[in-house]
Copies of this chain bind each other. A is one copy, B any other.
Amino acid sequence: MPELRKDPIVGRWVIISTERARRPSDFAPVPSTRAAGVCVFCPGQEAQTPDEILANRVDGSGANTPGWSLRVVPNKFPALRSEGELESAGEGLYDRMTGVGAHEVIVETPDHHASLARLPAAHVAEVLRAYRDRMRDLRKDTRLEYVTVFKNHGEAAGASLEHPHSQLIATPIVPIMVAEELEGALHHYRHKKRCVWCDIVRQERRQGGRLILEDDGVVALAPFAPRFPFETWILPSEHRSSFEEISPGELGALARTLQEVLRRMSRVLRDPPYNFMLHTAPFRGEAAEHFHWHLEIIPKLTRVAGFEWGTGFFINPTPPEEAARYLRGEVPEAPVS
């Protein structure tokens, strides 16, 4: 059973994942995801994954058979497990908790060689709808506090399988980064009676230099203080706290915006490895007034090293105003050297 453990100084929780227990000899370089062999996410290989939780099928095909356009399955090597009671224990200075949660894979398309940047926008909307529907379902589990949806694209960004997929991990604790956003946002709200992300959207629209694009109520921008070069945030321009409440119209606008940003990144940065992470309001607690959902996209272009791990300071070589100019298409493309 995996275990959650809390650092006694800073209060950060980590997951000790015994499902993936590793001896020193297991840390050899990961074999390439491009290696030959059968892809477990391709149609016809449904028996290789745990039973599907959700699948979009228009042809009346049966569960765990081909015929799907999107499929959600439990992760075969889950970081947290859905079975068992949520129990916590102290031990002197230390706190631990059973590793209860959920870890699911969203197989975005049957096409092994597709990508979110190239699928039809309607299909991207289908992927986003699956995120929403899984969140709506998981919130019924009273042991859980939060669902993080994320995507690792490309080996350097942590993808261990090439087939287009995203993941979600549901945790019995609100992640520390979301907790810090909640705290900062609540502070802003108490002082100004306004949502800080709403204020950011207003200021960015007024200044213009970091805006990338806007489509029917959804904005993409380069944040003022990005950790990574070409980091991009996508968020609704109107105040929306919980991603689970996204409307069909907003889903469509988000799908078009996400796809367009990924297309432009792919063009400007030559199909970079990237991660994206969705931040939404926690299941419990009152965040409706001060939290605003947003999607953070970080291309993997630089290495994170000792300075960043030791300080939390990030060194970003590309000012966001420059990144936004490239992503708006205002800079002629450099010839491939």
CB–CB B92/A203 < 8 A: yes
Query: Shortest CB–CB separation between residue A270 and chain B, in angstroms?
Result: 8
CB–CB B269/A305 < 8 A: no
List residues of chain B with CB within 8 A of the CB of A167: 306-307
Other-chain contact of A319, B18, B93, B188, B316 (Cβ < 8 Å):
B18
Other-chain contact of A181, B10, B24, B225, B229 (Cβ < 8 Å):
B10
List residues of chain B with CB within 8 A of the CB of A152: 305-306
Can you tell how many copies of this chain the complex includes? 2
CB–CB A225/B310 < 8 A: no
Given the interface pairs A14-B226, A17-B315, A316-B15, the reply to whether A93 lies near B310 with Cβ below 8 Å is: no
CB–CB B306/A150 < 8 A: yes
Is A158's CB within 8 Å of the partner chain B? yes
Is A140's CB within 8 Å of the partner chain B? no
Chain A 199-225, CB-CB to B under 8 Å as 1, else 0, gives 110010001000000000000000111
Query: Shortest CB–CB separation between residue A263 and chain B, in angstroms?
Result: 14
Query: Shortest CB–CB separation between residue A310 and chain B, in angstroms?
Result: 3
Query: Shortest CB–CB separation between residue A151 and chain B, in angstroms?
Result: 6
Is A312's CB within 8 Å of the partner chain B? yes
Chain A 293-337, CB-CB to B under 8 Å as 1, else 0, gives 000101001111111011111111111101000100000001011
A307 to B326, CA, bound (A): 27
CB–CB B318/A21 < 8 A: yes
CB–CB B225/A13 < 8 A: yes
Given the interface pairs A15-B313, A225-B6, A298-B309, the reply to whether A334 lies near B148 with Cβ below 8 Å is: no
Query: Shortest CB–CB separation between residue A326 and chain B, in angstroms?
Result: 6
CB–CB B10/A180 < 8 A: yes
- Nearest 4 CB-CB pairs, A to B? A158-B305, A277-B310, A150-B306, A175-B311
